[in-house]
Amino acid sequence: KAGVTQTPRYLIKTRGQQVTLSCSPISGHRSVSWYQQTPGQGLQFLFEYFSETQRNKGNFPGRFSGRQFSNSRSEMNVSTLELGDSALYLCASSPTPAETQYFGPGTRLLVL
Amino acid sequence: AQSVSQHNHHVILSEAASLELGCNYSYGGTVNLFWYVQYPGQHLQLLLKYFSGDPLVKGIKGFEAEFIKSKFSFNLRKPSVQWSDTAEYFCAVNSNAGKSTFGDGTTLTVKP
């Protein structure tokens, strides 16, 4: 089976812009979670989707949003980018919530 | 709310030394417990997990962890580390509600 894929792998944006990141889960996985990884904050949970519904949301401002499509692919969007949004954004999929998560390579976002 | 605490931020060992990484969690209900590892330049991947049953679980590459419910702990151990074990290790908790919480991570450096 192909692993979790994330696009793009690298992204450079400027403050105030918005960005959309994409995640394709492992085939058959219906749960997708997003995390922000930074050296200072570690892995921070953003949100989790299962069957197109957001089940959980972390403590991030409303500028961070996401969605899941009927084929389980997921996107996350960050509007009005700030310098502090520079991070590695990881997507993880699992067959159902609470099972083992399989991580993608991440999208490295740099905000200038 | 769930929380995970990893006691050691950075551990440095010589090859063949024994390893124990501490992990404590805070959650009042039933949880699934995980250790993930991130080798340099690679994705996060599962090392081992505990869902139920024998509290001593064995994972890949000779790692094991023991779930002690009374102490809310899930410590990771390996009797003899190798240089190739140099990586960052994350303890994670997932309740049946599906939300995963990760610890801040422990960077392990093994000197040859």
Lowest model confidence (mean pLDDT) among A61-70, A83-92, B37-46: B37-46
Query: Residue A2 has which token pair?
Result: 């192909």
Average pLDDT over chain A, rounded to an integer: 93
Distances B100 to A92, A101, B33, B61 between C-alpha atoms, Å: 11, 9, 10, 24
Average pLDDT over chain B, rounded to an integer: 92
Percent of chain B at pLDDT exceeding 90:
76
Interchain contact B103–A (C-beta under 8 A): yes
Distances A13 to A83, A109, B17, B86 between C-alpha atoms, Å: 10, 8, 45, 33
A43–B45 CB contact, under 8 Å = no
Which residue on chain A is closest to B32 by alpha carbon? A98
- Report d(CA B9, CA B72) in Å as an integer: 19
Average pLDDT over residues A50-78: 94
Interchain contact B59–A (C-beta under 8 A): no
Q: What is the pLDDT of residue B37?
A: 95
- Report d(CA B63, CA B87) in Å as an integer: 13
Which of B50, B100, B102, B107 to mutate to test binding with chain A, by most A CBs within 10 Å of its CB?
B100
Average pLDDT over residues A45-68: 93
Which residue on chain A is closest to B102 by alpha carbon? A43
